[in-house]
């Protein structure tokens, strides 16, 4: 039960799953005629941005200072 509450194997992938489901539903809504192409593209770009933003923040700090940008004084 504790594994289900804490997320199990989807623990770190919830954002990716939500973004993927949103993109698929936007494409489905366009295909059945509920929204136009501009709304579909706006939804896809927004959810893709969330996906890449999450991916960017999850890799931040894993290099332990290597290849980090130094501010000149």
CA distance 73 to 61: 23
pTM listed for this prediction: 0.64
pLDDT for 25: 96
pLDDT tens digits along 9-57: 777 778 888 889 999 999 999 999 999 999 999 999 999 888 788 767 6
Contact between residue 54 and residue 15 where contact means Cβ atoms under 8 Å apart:
yes
Q: Considering only residues 24 and 59, tell me which one the structure prediction assigns the higher pLDDT.
A: 24
Burial of 54 (0-12, 13-18, 19+ CB in 10 A): middle
Give the CA distances from residue 12 to residues 6, 9, 16, 54, in Å, rounded to whole numbers and listed in that order: 10, 8, 9, 10
Backbone angles phi, psi at 35, to 5 degrees: -140, 160
């Amino acid at each position: 039960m504790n594994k289900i509450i804490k997320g199990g194997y989807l623990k770190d992938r919830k954002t990716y799953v939500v973004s993927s489901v949103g993109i698929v539903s936007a494409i489905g809504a366009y295909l059945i005629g509920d929204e136009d192409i501009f709304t579909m593209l706006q939804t896809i770009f927004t959810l893709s941005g969330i996906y890449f933003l999450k991916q960017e923040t999850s890799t931040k700090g894993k290099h332990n200072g290597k290849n980090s940008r130094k501010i000149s004084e």
